[in-house]
Structure 1
């Protein structure tokens, strides 16, 4: 059952290479637990839609904070509209990740996101790995869109073109399913049963296992792509999906 937003919420801005990046910080009432683990979270929306108020941002962050007892920083990254394109959204999420690490607000910190936000979270983890910076302690990826093309799926050319500006020679951290994956942290992949993009998440899990990255998957039965953004339509699937991610987050408290 969803129980609403946790009480302690704040909303500063983080300095990024393209200007301030709004964030919303959800803090659990147990401050000792909050200091032990945290999560940076990026909503989805095809790289061009979404904000900090949408359920996939605000509700998910609040519920993961409450259920897992960890601090969650939700990122209001710039969208691919009005001429904004890759790498701006990744730069914004990466800036918040670096800020979170510098703040030291938690001993262990994960990163995650939904759909396009999952690509941004994974790309941020790859950037940190490749730059020799602090890497996340875990990855949470909800119905990730991290490949182009997606096996068996069509109709995503416009989304990719809008985000990257082309459909060929895609940078590895734009849609990171094509990047080297070795050295990523334990990854937890949430799949929707009725989802044209489900194949991207399934392929990613296969690739991660091949790269010797610990990975788990959970299939939300009866759910469609983006179900975390429609809790009224998929109450049971959303509840179970949040429990799956919360359980993964609690491993950082052990």
Structure 2
């Protein structure tokens, strides 16, 4: 692996200090990616593989990465066991969303890479990246050139899986985590309110095609045995209905969170797929 420059920066964020980690390639392509890790909105950090290993893999392709250490939702008693974390006070929407928007605008105006700049994330980070891209598109200023989404959660009210996916989940009960009830509770924890009243930046999967017309081109990789596929694939259909260029694929043989497992072949396959699309940006 090539040596790259990796540095932390403390930004003057919209809700206080915001740490980002900048990965600068030794042989830059001029392309950049602002990236958000997953963790159910309440867990994860920029040292986890889904952040650090992902960023290192992208810079090996010459793509600069700004990994965002966004503020996390609370860890209640109910969530502590699920996340393997201690209980703590946290924040609610729109704090992490605002931080993703701010980090993207900072990166796009920096000298880290001349651009174009993409925005992306995994799981809950995919939600944050999608909501940020949608807001930036609606505001009409600097807009990401591409959305890069790995097994995102985009719906708080998630439909049941189709028979094919249901059969896969029944065959691997340990992968059957993101049930509609679980997902709704995850969003309630993140939002601190009823998901039914949330706006489209918090729950992008609720956006009508008319609201998605200015959304950037999108590449999405979903896990095969993962109930969040329902969410990602529904959003991909909405993008297509809005006339947005979207490529959504399923990574064969995967369960949720394969970018957090760099030892799996699917990790490199997904990074290579994403990197190739980013490097196509003019």
TM-score (norm 1): 0.92
Aligned match of 1:139: 147
How many correspondences in the alignment? 244
Aligned match of 1:187: 218
Contact 1:112 1:141 in 2 (8 A): yes
- Match among 166, 175, 178 for residue 206 of structure 2: 178
Stretch moving more, 180-189 or 49-58? 180-189
Corresponding residue SS for 2:73: coil
| Structure 1 position 199 matched with structure 2 position 230 | yes
**Which 4+ runs in 1 deviate beyond 4 A?**
none
- Match among 8, 18, 41 for residue 15 of structure 2: 18
1: distance between equivalents of 2:238 and 2:271? 24
Corresponding residue SS for 1:80: coil
Contact 2:53 2:262 in 1 (8 A): no
Residue deviations 1:189-248 (CA, integer Å, cap 9, x gap): 11100001111111111111000000112211111111111223xx11111111111111
Structure 1 residue 115: Cα displacement: 0.8
Structure 2, unaligned runs of 5 or more = 75-88, 161-178
1: distance between equivalents of 2:90 and 2:45? 18
Stretch moving more, 207-216 or 99-108? 99-108
| Bigger-Rg structure (1/2) | 2
1: distance between equivalents of 2:90 and 2:67? 24
Structure 1 residue 168: Cα displacement: 1.7
Aligned match of 2:115: 107
Contact 1:6 1:26 in 2 (8 A): no
- Match among 196, 199, 215 for residue 168 of structure 1: 196
Aligned match of 1:223: 254
Structure 1 residue 14: Cα displacement: 1.5
2: distance between equivalents of 1:83 and 1:191? 28
Aligned CA RMSD, in angstroms, stands at 1.4
Aligned match of 2:67: 74
2: distance between equivalents of 1:175 and 1:6? 38
Contact 2:71 2:96 in 1 (8 A): yes
Structure 1 residue 6: Cα displacement: 4.5
Structure 1 residue 133: Cα displacement: 1.3
Contact 2:36 2:68 in 1 (8 A): yes
Residue deviations 1:15-55 (CA, integer Å, cap 9, x gap): 11111111111111124x2xx21010000111000101000
2: distance between equivalents of 1:6 and 1:195? 35
Aligned match of 1:88: 95
Structure 1 residue 95: Cα displacement: 1.0
Structure 1 residue 83: Cα displacement: 4.1
Stretch moving more, 132-141 or 145-154? 145-154
| Structure 1 position 29 matched with structure 2 position 60 | no
Structure 1 residue 78: Cα displacement: 0.3
2: distance between equivalents of 1:167 and 1:187? 25
Structure 1 residue 167: Cα displacement: 2.8
Contact 2:138 2:214 in 1 (8 A): no
